[in-house]
Structure 1
Amino acid sequence: MQLGTRWAFGDEPPRSVPMELRPGIAAAESGTPDGAGRHWTLTWLEGRPIAELDDGTVVTLEHPSGGGAVDDGDDW
């Protein structure tokens, strides 16, 4: 189990934020003219990091091509 964290817009992300996610966060911040009072929230979904800004901006890693199992929905 991994717990998430929060940090203020424009601040250095905490060490728990994966390095691969940081360029996307920086790009989202550079495209937002005023982030005053906003915060990022890091959560994990199925082992993948997701950073979400209070305004609904989401930064995540792309699904690795060819990786993972395919769910065909026939388990029932």
Structure 2
Amino acid sequence: MQLGTRWTAGAQPPAAVPPVLHAQLAAVEAALSPEDPAPRWTLTFLEGRPIAELDTGVTVALTATGEVVVGHIDDDPLD
């Protein structure tokens, strides 16, 4: 696994975040409560594919087939 980068939800994703993930990241962030402190995303790469994990456990990942999926850390988004 290669560590990518971290950023705060609601901020522009860093350049290291593949654009294919941006729409789903924004959709997840839109569902966050504006009254709570903004959680942070962590971008990693597993088997060469990007996975963004929010501090809340929500994940946005690119599967081997090129599909962007939203899940939870307890799920396996790469199946």
**Common fold, TM-score beyond 0.5?**
yes
State the shift of 1:31 in Å: 1.2
CA distance in 1, matches of 2:59, 2:2: 19
Native 8 Å contact 1:9 1:37 kept in 2: yes
CA gap 1:54/1:10 in 2 versus in 1, 3 angstroms:
same
Percent identity over the alignment is 51
State the shift of 1:37 in Å: 3.8
CA distance in 2, matches of 1:17, 1:9: 13
Native 8 Å contact 1:7 1:41 kept in 2: yes
Unaligned runs of 5+ in 2: 67-79
> Is the strand fraction higher in 1 or 2?
2
1:46 lines up with 2:47 in the alignment? yes
1:57 lines up with 2:68 in the alignment? no
The one-character-per-residue Cα deviations of 1:10-64 (angstroms, maximum 9, x if unpaired) are: 1000000000011110000011123524100000000000000001010112331
Partner SS, residue 27 of structure 1: helix
Partner SS, residue 43 of structure 1: strand
Q: How many residues align?
A: 65
Q: Superposition pairs for residues 1-76 of structure 1, below 5 Å?
A: 2-34=2-34, 36-64=37-65
Give the TM-score taking structure 2 as reference length: 0.72
